[in-house]
């Protein structure tokens, strides 16, 4: 019985290596491709500018909330109970506005995320289509991103089609 098990695994390995040799593999370096696409750099600059502008807006609102809290701390002893409660509510409301502003701009479904989707997704789709066209032309079965594969130790430069993808995209 043990002999049949060994023969079965040997046949399975032989079949698997034969099948693996029939597949052609190529690699791309997505970070290299993106760095060499002017439209990606422009989109990134636009996102950075928006992010900085929104961050300033959030910081201004935070500063306003801090000033309100500081003023409340210094004036608190001079205020009536109702005035204190009113001021505390105003401070809490301002802090909630700050949190909402952060969520609005930088949250999971925030404006920055939506803008990134609008600007970057078409570029990624264009790259994907170029890779797919190139793979079809060269009869490549598998294309892997070497920049996203930490287990990749060595790769022959002959397998890297990043420059060909850039050429297909019209980048210099």
Predicted confidence pLDDT, tens digits, the chain (172 residues): 555 555 455 555 655 554 555 688 999 999 999 999 999 999 999 999 999 999 999 999 999 999 999 999 999 999 999 999 999 999 999 999 999 999 999 999 999 999 999 999 999 999 999 999 999 999 999 998 888 877 777 878 888 898 899 998 887 6
- CB-based burial label for 131 (10 Å; 0-12, 13-18, 19+): buried
What was the pLDDT predicted at 154? 82
User: Hey, CA dihedral for 144, 148, 152, 154, is it positive or negative?
Assistant: positive
Q: How many CB atoms lie within 10 A of CB 136?
A: 9
3-state secondary structure of 133: helix
The answer to whether 94 and 25 are in contact (CB under 8 A) is: no
Q: How many of the other CB atoms lie within 10 Å of CB of 26?
A: 22
How many whole angstroms separate alpha carbon 30 and alpha carbon 146? 8
Taken in order 139, 141, 147, 153, the sign of the CA dihedral is negative
Per-residue pLDDT, 40: 95
Q: How many angstroms separate the CA atoms of 32 and 169, rounded? A: 13
pTM: 0.70
């Amino acid at each position: 019985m043990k002999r049949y098990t060994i023969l079965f695994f040997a046949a399975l390995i032989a079949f698997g290596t034969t099948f693996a040799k029939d597949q052609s593999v190529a690699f791309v370096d997505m970070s290299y491709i993106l760095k060499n696409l002017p439209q990606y750099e422009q989109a990134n600059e636009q996102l950075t500018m928006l992010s900085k502008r929104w961050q300033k807006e959030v910081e201004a609102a935070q500063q306003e909330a801090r000033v309100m809290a500081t003023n409340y701390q210094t004036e608190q002893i001079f205020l009536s109970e109702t005035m204190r409660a009113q001021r505390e509510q105003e401070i809490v409301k301002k802090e909630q506005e700050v949190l909402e502003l952060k969520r609005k701009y930088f949250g999971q479904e925030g404006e920055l995320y939506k803008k990134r989707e609008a600007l970057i997704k078409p570029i990624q789709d264009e790259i994907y289509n170029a890779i797919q066209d190139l793979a079809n032309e060269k009869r490549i079965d598998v294309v892997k991103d070497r920049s996203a594969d930490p287990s990749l130790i060595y790769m022959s430069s002959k397998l890297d089609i990043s420059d060909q993808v850039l050429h297909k995209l019209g980048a210099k």
